[in-house]
């Protein structure tokens, strides 16, 4: 039986292709390494042991020269990560708009907040057309953008009440009001100008009883590391912008201030470090006095130290019932209702013996 030596056979295949415009060159070099082994049947066989792929993509700009060899000298190889791609960040982010919330005005028309990548991510309030097939209308001018930075998470950047929209402007973080019936009139500020976006507001609601706007406020004027957060009231109806008045304070964070239909009670969520709102929180209800202050407070959920729960999303019914979501006992969020027990003491006459 003949014995064959062991050797390596190397094959190199180079493909060259020109684009249809004859201005760019594509080369593909494919190197194949084969191991030559002795065969027991005295026949030579090639076993494919290993394949090395060396692909080189090179694009070069050249003139209308007909010489292929001359085009190789103009090939430019860019370092890894430095080549220019036709797919830019603007192309990717500008593919679609994002919706950030919806509301309905007094006529039942839909208002939504959309983020426009083609305008640098500006948040724009949009009003649906009055007639089917019409074009939606931008509620705010181009120099405004709807977004709040309160408590870092933001959210609750606008509120619609009747024909008026209240919104937080991104650049200065002030609150503004815009009439839907007078879109040609610029929005009017309702909070003071502190010379920069150092005070933020979120999750507001109109209090028609006292003609004021109630919202969560984060104040970073003294410290941005641990700024105080409160629930404040903002007076309306005056030509002069006034300093907001604190209604609720003391905890690290607040959310969801909600008034009942008569503006006699207000509900809110509060929590403090190191908890997050989904770890442990408290639901409170405050009774509003004749002068607009909160004179009595009741902890509805989360106040029991032996029971860990995180209530959220309080909402009053038209009949004055308070509904909320909490994960009490079973660890899953379910809808609950606040039930008020009233104990009546009957004074019976005492007869003498």
Half-sphere exposure of 349 (CA within 13 A, CB side): 3
Helix, strand and coil in the chain, % to nearest 5: 5, 40, 55
Q: Where are the domains positioned within the chain?
A: 145-338
100 has pLDDT over 50? yes
Structure tokens at 136: 């939606």
Q: How confident is the model at residue 42 (pLDDT cuts 50, 70, 90)?
A: very low
Structure tokens at 351: 């007869």
Residue 186: per-residue pLDDT:
95
pTM for the whole structure: 0.71
Q: How many Å apart are CA 326 and CA 330, to the nearest integer? A: 10
Tell me which fold the domain 145-338 belongs to. Answer: Methylamine Dehydrogenase; Chain H (2.130.10)
Choice among 96-105, 213-222, 263-272, 309-318 with the minimum mean pLDDT: 96-105
What does the pLDDT look like over 116-153, one tens digit per residue? 988 988 999 999 998 888 999 999 999 999 999 998 87
Mean pLDDT, residues 55-83 taken together: 55
Q: How confident is the model at residue 46 (pLDDT cuts 50, 70, 90)?
A: very low
Q: What is the residue whose two structure tokens read 């860019």?
A: 78
Contacts of 314 (CB under 8 A, 6+ apart): 256, 258, 267, 268, 269, 283, 322, 323, 324
Tell which wins on pLDDT, 24 or 161. 161
Helix, strand or coil, per DSSP, at residue 134:
coil
Contact 231, 268 (CB under 8 A): yes
Which value, in Å, is the radius of gyration of the alpha carbons in the chain?
35
The 8-class DSSP code of residue 345 comes to P
Q: Is the dihedral of CA 180, 186, 191, 194 positive or negative?
A: positive
Helix, strand or coil, per DSSP, at residue 136:
coil
Mean pLDDT, residues 163-192 taken together: 96
């Amino acid at each position: 039986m003949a014995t064959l030596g062991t050797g390596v056979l190397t094959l190199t295949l180079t493909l060259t292709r020109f684009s249809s415009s004859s201005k760019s060159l594509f080369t593909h070099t494919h190197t194949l390494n084969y191991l030559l082994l002795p065969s027991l049947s005295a026949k030579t066989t090639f076993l494919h042991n290993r394949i090395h792929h060396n692909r080189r993509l090179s694009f070069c700009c050249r003139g209308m020269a007909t010489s292929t060899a001359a085009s190789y000298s103009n090939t430019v190889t860019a370092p890894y990560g430095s080549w220019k791609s036709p797919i830019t960040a603007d192309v990717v982010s500008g593919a679609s708009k994002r919706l950030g919330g919806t509301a309905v005005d007094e006529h039942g028309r839909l208002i939504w907040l959309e983020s426009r990548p083609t305008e640098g991510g500006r948040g724009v309030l949009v009003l649906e057309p009055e007639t089917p097939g019409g074009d939606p209308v931008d509620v705010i001018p181009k120099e405004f953008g709807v977004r709040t930075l309160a408590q870092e998470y933001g959210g609750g950047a606008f509120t619609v009440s009747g024909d008026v929209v209240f919104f937080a402007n991104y650049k200065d973080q002030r609150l503004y009001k815009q009439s839907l019936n007078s879109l040609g009139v610029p929005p009017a500020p309702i909070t003071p100008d502190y010379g920069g976006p150092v005070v933020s507001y979120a999750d507001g609601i109109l209090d028609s009883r006292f003609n004021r706007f109630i919202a969560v406020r984060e104040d970073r004027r003294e410290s941005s590391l641990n700024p105080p957060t409160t629930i404040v009231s903002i007076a309306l109806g005056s030509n002069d912008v006034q300093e907001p008045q604190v209604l609720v304070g003391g905890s690290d964070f607040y959310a969801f201030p909600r008034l009942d239909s008569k503006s006699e009670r207000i509900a809110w969520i509060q929590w403090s470090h190191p908890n997050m709102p989904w770890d442990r929180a408290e639901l409170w209800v405050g009774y509003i006095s004749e002068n607009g202050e909160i004179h009595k407070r009741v902890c509805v959920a989360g106040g029991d130290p032996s029971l860990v729960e995180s209530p959220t999303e309080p909402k009053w019914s038209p009949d004055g019932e308070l509904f909320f979501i909490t994960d009490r006992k079973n660890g899953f969020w379910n809808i609950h209702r606040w039930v008020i027990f009233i104990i009546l003491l009957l004074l019976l006459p005492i007869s003498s013996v």
